[in-house]
Amino acid sequence: MTTENLHTSYAIGIDTGGTYTDAVLLSIEEKKVIATAKSPTTHHNLSIGISLSLKQIFTESSVRPHNVSLVAVSTTLATNAVVEDKGANVGLLIAGPAKRFKLPVVSASYLKGGHNHLGEEADPLDMEALVDAVQSLKGHVDAYAVCAAMSIMNPAHEQVMAKAISLLDPKPVFCSHEISDRPGIHERAATSVLNARLMPVMEDFLGGMQDALVAMGLAGNVFIIRGDASPMAITDTYKQAASTVASGPAATAWFGMHFSPTPDALIVDVGGTTTDITIMRDSKPVMDREGSLIGEWHTQIDAVKMFTVGAGGDSHVVISRENNLHVGPGRVLPLSMSENTPSPDQWIGKGLRSKSIMAASDLTLEETSSNPILAHLVAHGPTTAEELKQHFNMAEITLTSHLKDLNQLQLISEIGFTPTDALHVLGRLNVGNSDNAVKGAETLAKILEISTEEFCESVLKAVGHKIETAILDHILTIETGKTMTGFFPNYRKSDLLDLRFSIRIPIIGIGAVAQHLLPQVAERLGTEVVFPDHYEVGNALGSVLMAIGNN
């Protein structure tokens, strides 16, 4: 335990990612790191992982909770939910003239209504069509998003729609005028849908965070980091869930600002679920003021200019039926980090391929009595989807849909082979059960008829290529407005062109697994990678530095 001056004010930074929850204790006056901690993110009950990290930093120091004057929190949970296509089922209602467009909703209903650019009613709101639409969606959606033409000038129709929906189906309603003040009905609709879809993710996150902080006596000044690199009070976060989508990258950018050896740098955060990429020019993060492109969604959310790819230490490694190797974008619990799992050589790569299922660890038989699959998992332990299919005599499509719903609700975890396992097999990482990882690698390598070492190197090469391509796409988008994947997606496989790139700025690496993946990426891109002190918890440190700088 270290000895600190307890008359000094202290701050805590927390980053809740898809795989780990990190915490940093910082002296505000000196901006000196006093203690750091890293614990697994417990998706079924986020407060557990948060509390473990907080307890670690207080155990390592003589600072007590009452000495802490500020807590800053960043998270990649919203980003991960978008990448992994998770979230609430949403019904979208649009009033006014609008071209039909595609968004990830259960249904989109187009009604007469809306206002003109002067705020005058263009058409009366079609209440009969509104009622019919809501009646058809009842029981099929978790939330509603409403968007009316020029609601930024006059929100009356959105307000009427929200009131009518609450009377017919008391589910949360997200109005576009409450989220954005910019023209563009498509972008405002996308932004309101995104907020609605992220509602359960944010409910779990805020509930877990507040439970952990209150239990530790840290319920004072608590700020959540927005994607535009500004802090907001935790009480304002629920209705603004989408503003946290770039929260992790914003914290990443601030870490880079403080620790980059050069004023221009590429900051690459390799997490368990995703790799987030931001760029810094003249010691400031490059901002996207035109609205972030999140996945395929063009939104009206101000954020640091970022690029996120579903590739990280816990990306699921799958061999397709055509014997092609794929890494991500889905995340699973690594074999090396799982316990009480059937031996991987008995199930991996068979049937409903490459995943074992396990129930959340704190569920009881009483809590799962209404769900036969959860009850079976609690009673018998981890098993495969193929075994569940046979036990319950369920159609594969029905079981797959049900397991997806349980996974979205964080009631089950999925176990599979990952780059983290490949690193264990190759002896470059030793924090878990290497035996499980070796058995999984041997089984999958046998399918491809290559050695275990070749298989693991192929996995690391594949995830490295995804990160490298994401870096190129991010830079090319900034420089040209186009991406390499859009222009020439298979450039590495060309028989006629040997196309290579060199970047002129260094890479700042963040994340525990970054040191194992980024040196090879940097070498292929003709640059250097730098790992500053505390890079393993860079987002947590960046978040607290940002909050201090804005208060």
**Structure confidence by residue, pLDDT tens digits, 112-137:** 999 998 889 899 999 999 999 999 99
User: What would the pLDDT profile of 400-411 be if each residue is shown by its tens digit?
Assistant: 888 877 876 667
User: What would the pLDDT profile of 37-93 be if each residue is shown by its tens digit?
Assistant: 988 887 777 788 889 999 999 999 988 988 899 999 988 777 777 766 777 889 999
Which pLDDT belongs to residue 521?
Answer: 95
Which pLDDT belongs to residue 505?
Answer: 94
Burial class, 489, CB count within 10 angstroms (exposed 0-12 / middle 13-18 / buried 19+): exposed
Q: What's the pLDDT band for 270 if we cut at 50, 70, 90?
A: very high
User: What would the pLDDT profile of 390-440 be if each residue is shown by its tens digit?
Assistant: 899 988 888 888 887 787 666 788 889 999 999 999 999 887 888 989 999
Interval 491-502 mean pLDDT: 82
The strand pairing partners of 510, in sequence order, are 269
Residue 319 pLDDT greater than 90, yes or no:
no
Measure CA 453 to chain center. 30
Q: Which residues of 229-246 are buried (b: 16+ CB within 10 A; e: fewer)?
A: bebeebeebeebbbbbbb
Neighbours of 318 (CB within 10 A): 19
Residues of the chain with CATH 3.30.420.40: 10-82+202-259+541-549, 265-312+458-532
CA pair distance 267, 248, nearest whole angstrom: 12
Which pLDDT belongs to residue 548?
Answer: 86
Residue 494 pLDDT greater than 90, yes or no:
no
CA pair distance 167, 154, nearest whole angstrom: 22
Measure CA 538 to chain center. 16
Q: What's the pLDDT band for 371 if we cut at 50, 70, 90?
A: confident
The 3-state secondary structure of 446-515, one letter per residue: HHHCCCHHHHHHHHHHHHHHHHHHHHHHHHHHHHHCCCHHHHCCCHHHCCCCCCCCCCCCCEEEECCCHH
Residue 217 pLDDT greater than 80, yes or no:
yes
User: What would the pLDDT profile of 454-477 be if each residue is shown by its tens digit?
Assistant: 999 999 999 999 999 999 988 888
Q: Can you name the CATH fold of 90-197?
A: Oxidized Rhodanese; domain 1 (3.40.250)
Lowest mean pLDDT, pick from 135-139, 299-303, 450-454: 299-303
- For domain 265-312+458-532, give the CATH number: 3.30.420.40
| Percentage, residues of the chain above pLDDT 70 | 92
Residue 369 pLDDT greater than 90, yes or no:
no
Which pLDDT belongs to residue 339?
Answer: 77
Which pLDDT belongs to residue 245?
Answer: 75
Q: What's the pLDDT band for 352 if we cut at 50, 70, 90?
A: very low
Which pLDDT belongs to residue 541?
Answer: 94
Q: Can you name the CATH fold of 10-82+202-259+541-549?
A: Nucleotidyltransferase; domain 5 (3.30.420)
Interval 489-510 mean pLDDT: 86
End-to-end alpha carbon distance in the chain: 29
Which pLDDT belongs to residue 506?
Answer: 95
User: What would the pLDDT profile of 221-250 be if each residue is shown by its tens digit?
Assistant: 888 888 888 888 877 676 677 777 778 888
Helix, strand or coil, per DSSP, at residue 213: helix
Residue 347 pLDDT greater than 70, yes or no:
yes
